[in-house]
A and B are shown apart, each in its own frame.
Chain A
């Protein structure tokens, strides 16, 4: 039994080490390698579809735009619910291109600070107010319409568009000062804390985080295997405490903590066995 747990732990550790490769692989898929823009299909990740290299549509962009138009986005909601129910926030940790960018910038060796867990609740405010309420009440012309603030949109849509216009010798269309300020602040924050956008603001992460409680794949902390060595806590990039709450709403399921044998990935079937 103990050797099986160790084997599983080793497999998890190998999987966690390969996460960046998986993220890079997904990035290639999102970046329209076949030059076929399929913007009538909703992707499960945060990737601006104004990006010249976006294969699919951004789910948050769809929610915001549809809210502004007063239409219910059945397809986008269905996509998020299905993938969230199966994977939860694995999508954030393993497939999101903006999360990958934050991870890559996070490699720069600077002193990192851990943000208080309660700040993660602000993501729900962003989702409710900036993605749904403001577009619904005032339309997409409002300065606080989510896409007008989104830093992913600034990096992936606005900046390439500015470069394209500059190269073509046409007048440059600048994004709003608010959008550029948010981009600069988030970029600086990426140097000093792990995934600041995901932790504080990401409305998509808020949705997936909520589904961590019911997803078919989930993390489990085995108290009986714990040696109080604090390894899982030290490995958690988010500064969480896996020994207390392993699969919190803030967790992006990077599986770093699963290098400790007390933490494993389970399926709903094993959850059923345990009851």
Chain B
């Protein structure tokens, strides 16, 4: 992209220099594990004059996912994303509210039918006709169904819309369900987490804008670049686990030394996410739960987060070899005694056989004598 071309967009991007903009796109490419040349492609997609519209519907959400996005730095939400995409409806970030907001949404959907991206945060209550979450006087489940039918792509951000999240915790009185239960005719890309790392969401959206297709998804429709590995596989405390060094109580000697938190209930071994790799908040190393000394509770994993007790031990999805070794000769069980015993047994058997033959012959002889 030439400097001349870029200048026409630079005001839209808040006066960012071409150099900084290219840097940002390259960083985004790298964080998705794409080759650096993809950064140039991302840049092209970003400054394309047609900003894809995004409709953001919120169901049983806490606004945490939006809050996480607000704290992203590359790109910052206001300077880059609001100019990259046209966020036509968002309960928190929309300028208008009430009827005006609803009108703006309806217009955008009409104008961009089949072309907009639908993002949903929060779980969808299905019990009793969905009355437990009403927006603009209607159950949100109906609004979502209508809107999703006309969307080009559907993204579920956060654990709630991905698999149910907090509202779906036992006894789930509202029938809180993941988005995939409501939108069944299209693949629903899931970005779980409570909240998810904002870059997992941003990277996925940018990937879609750049390559016009979704990144590789796993069997739960989560992008593999972020959710392909267990937290346990990337954890900085893994060497402690492999060597059997565990903290057993909060504040004890081992906890202070930063040992593995498995025995304190860390759910890293059964949770898929990239927290230990990209951390949170861009504030340096250790800025994630385990890094601060608290066990992971599996916020992004359905069946683990808000379901398994915080301090119960995780089940291990991948059991691997430890730090220690078996020895060449494990001194267990008798060996010398066995050999001697064997000899004794053999000798006894031979002797018994001889005696038996002898006594059998003698008995026969006596019988013969008796007969005479």
B is a partner of A: no
Q: Which residues of B contact A (CB under 8 A)?
A: none
A contacts, CB < 8 Å to B: none
